[in-house]
């Protein structure tokens, strides 16, 4: 999932917005589409969305910041989400997460200096009978141990 992190040319953005603005309550679908295209919600998109949906910029900004999914800055080339919820904790998920962060010298949500990997927390992937669970660039991984994680990190170029 290597995103193009370039700022949006105005035309593309308007096209994305109008593609999703026909339905009821279109703001979340629009934000998801923009994030899928650009890897984050570019600041420049807020006034364009606000204009298209007849909302204030503050309202759009408020929605973007309410939801954990929407990023205001681009992520690394690869995104690793590690489950921090109870079922994964019962099989050592918390300790695994701490070791990953320590190895990369990151906090939750941080990106490695070479821009290769962002590590984000996630609260449940529905893989609660095969934890610790992770999602690597949208792909699910179960029973993650240190060896498996080392392989994932190497492949991602962390």
Residues that bind another protein (CB under 8 A): 23-29, 31-32, 53, 62-63, 66-70, 85-91, 122-131, 133, 135, 138-143
The encoded tokens of residue 154 equal 């190497």
Judged by CB, which is closer to another protein: 24, or 107? 24
Cα–Cα distance between 49 and 76 in angstroms, integer? 25
**Secondary structure (3-state) at 64:** helix
From CA 78, how far away is CA 128, in angstroms rounded? Answer: 23
- DSSP three-state, residue 121: strand
Our CB check for another protein shows the closer of 25 and 105 to be 25
In whole angstroms, the minimum distance from the beta carbon of 3 to another protein comes to 16
Q: Which is nearer to another protein, 11 or 126 (CB)?
A: 126
Q: How far is the CB of 127 from another protein (least distance, A)?
A: 5
Could you give the 3-state DSSP secondary structure of residue 7? coil
User: CB–CB of 53/47 below 8 Å?
Assistant: no
CB of 54 to another protein, least distance (A): 12
SS (H, E, C) 54-85: CCCHHHHHHHHHHCCCCCCCCCCCEEEEEECC
Q: How far is the CB of 55 from another protein (least distance, A)?
A: 8
């Amino acid at each position: 999932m290597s995103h193009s992190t370039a700022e949006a040319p105005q035309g593309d953005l308007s096209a994305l917005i109008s593609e999703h603005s026909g339905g009821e309550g279109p703001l979340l679908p629009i934000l998801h589409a923009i994030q899928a295209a650009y890897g984050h919600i570019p600041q420049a998109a807020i006034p364009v969305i606000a204009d298209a949906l007849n909302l204030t910029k503050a309202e759009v900004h408020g929605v973007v910041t309410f939801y954990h999914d929407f990023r205001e800055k681009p992520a690394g080339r690869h995104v690793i989400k590690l489950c921090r919820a109870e079922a994964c904790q019962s099989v050592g998920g918390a300790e695994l997460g701490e070791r990953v962060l320590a190895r990369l010298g990151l906090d939750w949500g941080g990106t490695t200096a070479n821009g290769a990997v962002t590590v984000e927390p996630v609260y449940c992937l529905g893989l609660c009978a095969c934890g610790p669970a992770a999602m690597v660039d949208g792909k699910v991984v179960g029973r993650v141990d240190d060896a498996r994680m080392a392989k994932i990190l190497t492949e991602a170029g962390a």
